[in-house]
Amino acid sequence: MFTQRLAKFFTTDIGIDLGTANCLVYVRDKGIVLSEPSVVAITENTKEVLAVGEEAKRMLGRTPSNIQAIRPMKDGVIADFDITESMLRYFIRKAINSVPWRQQLLGPRVLVAVPSGITEVENRAVKESAKRAGAGVVSLVEEPMAAAVGVGLPVAEPSGSMIVDIGGGTTEVAVISLSGIVGAKSVRVGGDELDAAIGQHMKRVYNLMIGSRTEERIKIVLGSAYPTKDDAEMEVKGRDLVSGLPKTVRINAGEIRIALQEPITTIIEACRATLERCPPELAADLIDRGIMLAGGGALLDGLDRLLVEETGLPVFVAEDPLLAVANGTGIMLQEMDSITQA
């Protein structure tokens, strides 16, 4: 007990939502201290890190040939080990700088949220990256559990709670009871797939090549899962695939909703598959408690209404869906001493 108290005095506890699109860092007793894009800018030849986070994201699609802006996370897991390590080191150091000097003497204890469907090899890769980035003890928690805790679902009760966490690279669907995941489905479809579907639509219909930032902007302004704002329009600028010259076209929300149907259907099917495998007693609980949406994808207009139509259950959007997983790791950090290292 004395050793644990001494460790708390000289170290700090950090929760990390290591997302495909964004990385959020929670420091115990301070809350979320950092929320930045999971992007790293490096030089082509020497692989030297030039920028991380928001500064690196501004370089996406705008760099000269000798600089690359890379997203080292893909589908919720590490795609580039070395770049992820550099990114984690930057985020951990930035978080540690926000605590008193005495809590910087030992490597921080880190709790990282990971997708429920990743392999043991991918689990080890996350832990190794965090340790090499400067962490002391590294523990892992499944994202749907962290999201459920973060949005305030009664996960410890002997009754069913359902969470749908739609991130940048994955969608995590889980039914939780007695602090355990009873049934879960993880599909590698999320915000990135929605963006890509918009990009493909622009190529197919308008012969227009657009960048990832423009895809995301179209999704935010016009994207919807339900015909609520089909008349809305916006101008989109890009490069004509035939002439190679800059070109502007006008698009509407109706066509974007149709373009998004395929990835949205995958998310709906993951929800249905999880419900079909749910034990009858917990399924009965969900009739009253419904489904909670979290993650950036929960902000897609009309997604809650479409899920109500497809499942017949009440659907709620979390108050701060983007912060759900990070807040969940923060709450679980309060019980850090009782978490067994994964």
In sequence order, what DSSP letters do the residues of 51-79 get, joined into one string?
EETHHHHTTTT---TTEEEE--EETTEES
Residue 1's pLDDT band (boundaries 50, 70, 90)?
very low
> Which of residues 229 and 43 earns the better pLDDT score?
43
pLDDT at 137 over 90: no
Q: Compute CA distances 14 → 28, 35, 323, 326, whole Å.
A: 6, 13, 15, 10
> Which of residues 66 and 284 earns the better pLDDT score?
284
Model-level pTM? 0.88
Residue 314's pLDDT band (boundaries 50, 70, 90)?
very high
pLDDT at 68 over 60: yes
Type of residue numbered 8: K
Selecting from 3.40.50.300, 2.10.10.100, 3.40.190.10, 3.30.420.40, what CATH number does the domain 2-145+325-338 have? 3.30.420.40
Cβ contacts of residue 152 below 8 Å, gap of 6+? none
Please, are residues 88 and 96 in contact by the beta-carbon 8 Å criterion?
no
Residue 185 burial (C-beta neighbours within 10 Å; 0-12, 13-18, 19+):
buried
pLDDT tens digits, residue range 218-230? 999 999 999 877 7
Please, are residues 83 and 40 in contact by the beta-carbon 8 Å criterion?
yes
pLDDT at 304: 95
Q: Would strands 73-74 and 77-78 be described as parallel, antiparallel, or unpaired? A: antiparallel
Residue 157's pLDDT band (boundaries 50, 70, 90)?
very high
Give the whole-angstrom CA distance, residue 219 versus residue 195.
7
Give the whole-angstrom CA distance, residue 109 versus residue 336.
9
pLDDT at 338: 52
73-77, 101-105, 299-303: range with lowest mean pLDDT? 101-105
User: What is the percentage of the chain residues whose pLDDT exceeds 70?
Assistant: 92
Residue 337's pLDDT band (boundaries 50, 70, 90)?
low
102-106, 122-126, 301-305, 308-312: range with lowest mean pLDDT? 102-106
- Reference 250, options 204, 218, 213, 212; nearest CA is 218
pLDDT at 299 over 90: yes
- Reference 74, options 135, 145, 139, 18; nearest CA is 18
pLDDT at 105 over 70: no
63 strand-pairing partners: none
Q: Compute CA distances 93 → 111, 149, 189, whole Å.
A: 15, 26, 31
Selecting from 3.90.640.10, 3.30.2390.10, 3.30.430.20, 3.30.830.10, what CATH number does the domain 191-261 have? 3.90.640.10
pLDDT tens digits, residue range 193-203? 999 999 999 99
pLDDT at 248 over 70: yes
- DSSP-assigned letter for residue 224: B
Domain positions in the chain are 2-145+325-338, 152-189+265-321, 191-261
pLDDT tens digits, residue range 166-176? 999 899 999 99
- DSSP-assigned letter for residue 301: B
Type of residue numbered 71: R
Cβ contacts of residue 120 below 8 Å, gap of 6+? none
For the record, the structure tokens of 24 come out as 């959020």
Type of residue numbered 5: R
Q: What is the mean pLDDT of residues 292-305?
A: 95
pLDDT tens digits, residue range 253-279? 999 999 999 999 999 999 999 999 999
Residue 99's pLDDT band (boundaries 50, 70, 90)?
low
> Which of residues 211 and 335 earns the better pLDDT score?
211
Q: What is the mean pLDDT of residues 29-52?
A: 88
pLDDT at 2 over 80: no
Residue 336's pLDDT band (boundaries 50, 70, 90)?
low
- Reference 189, options 207, 218, 210, 167; nearest CA is 167
Please, are residues 307 and 291 in contact by the beta-carbon 8 Å criterion?
yes
Domain range 152-189+265-321, CATH class? alpha beta
Residue 181 burial (C-beta neighbours within 10 Å; 0-12, 13-18, 19+):
middle
pLDDT tens digits, residue range 118-132? 888 888 888 988 888
For the record, the structure tokens of 320 come out as 């701060």
Type of residue numbered 255: E
Please, are residues 67 and 44 in contact by the beta-carbon 8 Å criterion?
yes
pLDDT at 286: 95
pLDDT at 10: 53
pLDDT at 342 over 80: no
> Which of residues 42 and 341 earns the better pLDDT score?
42
Quick check: do 2-145+325-338 and 152-189+265-321 share a fold?
yes
